[in-house]
């Protein structure tokens, strides 16, 4: 191939690449707001699942420190009803089998876990992914899902898998990851609630 042909081919490829980049930029700018709105709507729906009686969720600006180095908090919310704090919700992340797992944890002012919701994970379908499945029951008779077992537990409980937390079959790593995230969230929320007049 002659030098001139190589230059011409390079220019053509550059033009195509530039056009593709411009097209992607246009699509992103056109859908960015829609994606942000959808993400916010999903979060609000999840918070309402955790606290059905709440009428307000105010983002907490101050830093809430995780008691566990392997667990970090992405966002935290003061949960309100009639202007009174009735709990806290923490969007927390920890390491799991397939990578990071993100859990929204609700802690009531009475010191119990209201509910949890698995927001994001990359664990194995049919195994660790059962942590978020509404069709996977750790107690078939009681129709208790893996994530459902945390509702009503005291935030000060040990959260030890195969002790006070039932494990997902063949997915102990995922089970421990979720339990660790819930435990760290519970401890941190209790401390925050105690400082902000939210504990009963």
* pLDDT tens-place string over residues 44-56: 899 999 999 999 9
For residues 176 and 194, give the distance between their C-alpha atoms in angstroms, rounded to a whole number. Answer: 27
What are the residues facing 75 on neighbouring strands?
A: 91
Average pLDDT over the chain, rounded to an integer? 90
Q: Is the distance from CB of 86 to CB of 112 less than 8 angstroms?
A: no
pLDDT for 36 equals 64
pLDDT for 35 equals 66
Burial tier of 150 (Cβ tally within 10 Å: 0-12, 13-18, 19+): buried
SS (H, E, C) the chain: CCHHHHHHHHHHHHHHHHHHHHHHHHHHHHHHHHHHHHHHHHHHHHHHHHCCCCCEEEECCCCCCCCCCCEEEEEEEEEEECCEEEEEEEEEEEEECCEEEEEEEEEECCCEEEEEEEEECCCCCCCHHHHHCCCCEEECCCCEECHHHHCCCECCCCCCECCCECCCCCCHHHHHHHHHHHHHHHHHHHHHHHHCCCCC
Q: Is the distance from CB of 101 to CB of 146 less than 8 angstroms?
A: no
- Mean per-residue pLDDT, 131-151: 92
Buried b vs exposed e over 160-192: b needs ≥16 C-beta within 10 Å? Answer: ebeeebbbbeebebbbbbbbbbbbbbbbbbbeb
**pLDDT tens-digit series, residues 18-49:** 777 677 777 767 676 776 677 778 888 999 99
Question: Greater confidence, 184 or 44?
Answer: 184
- Mean per-residue pLDDT, 137-150: 91
- What φ, ψ does residue 174 adopt, rounded to 5°? -60, -45
- pLDDT band for position 58 (50/70/90)? very high
**pLDDT tens-digit series, residues 107-134:** 999 999 999 999 999 999 999 999 999 9
pLDDT for 3 equals 66
Q: Is the distance from CB of 168 to CB of 127 less than 8 angstroms?
A: yes
């Amino acid at each position: 191939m002659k030098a001139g042909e190589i230059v011409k081919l390079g220019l053509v490829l550059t033009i195509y690449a530039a056009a593709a980049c411009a097209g992607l930029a246009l699509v992103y700018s056109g859908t960015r707001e829609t994606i942000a709105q959808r993400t916010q709507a999903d979060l609000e729906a999840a918070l309402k699942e955790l606290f059905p009686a709440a009428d307000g969720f105010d983002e907490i600006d101050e830093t809430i420190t995780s008691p566990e180095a392997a667990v970090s908090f992405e966002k935290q919310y003061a949960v309100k009803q009639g202007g009174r704090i009735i709990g806290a919700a923490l969007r927390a992340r920890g390491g799991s089998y397939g990578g990071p797992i993100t859990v929204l944890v609700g802690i009531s002012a009475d010191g119990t876990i209201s509910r949890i919701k698995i927001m994001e994970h990359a664990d194995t379908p049919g195994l660790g992914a059962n942590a978020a499945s509404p069709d996977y029951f750790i107690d078939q008779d009681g129709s208790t899902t893996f994530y459902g077992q945390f509702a009503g537990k005291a935030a000060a409980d040990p959260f030890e898998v195969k002790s006070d937390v039932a494990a997902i079959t063949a997915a102990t790593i995922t089970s421990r990851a979720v339990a660790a995230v819930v435990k760290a969230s519970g401890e941190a929320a209790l401390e925050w609630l105690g400082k902000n007049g939210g504990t009963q």
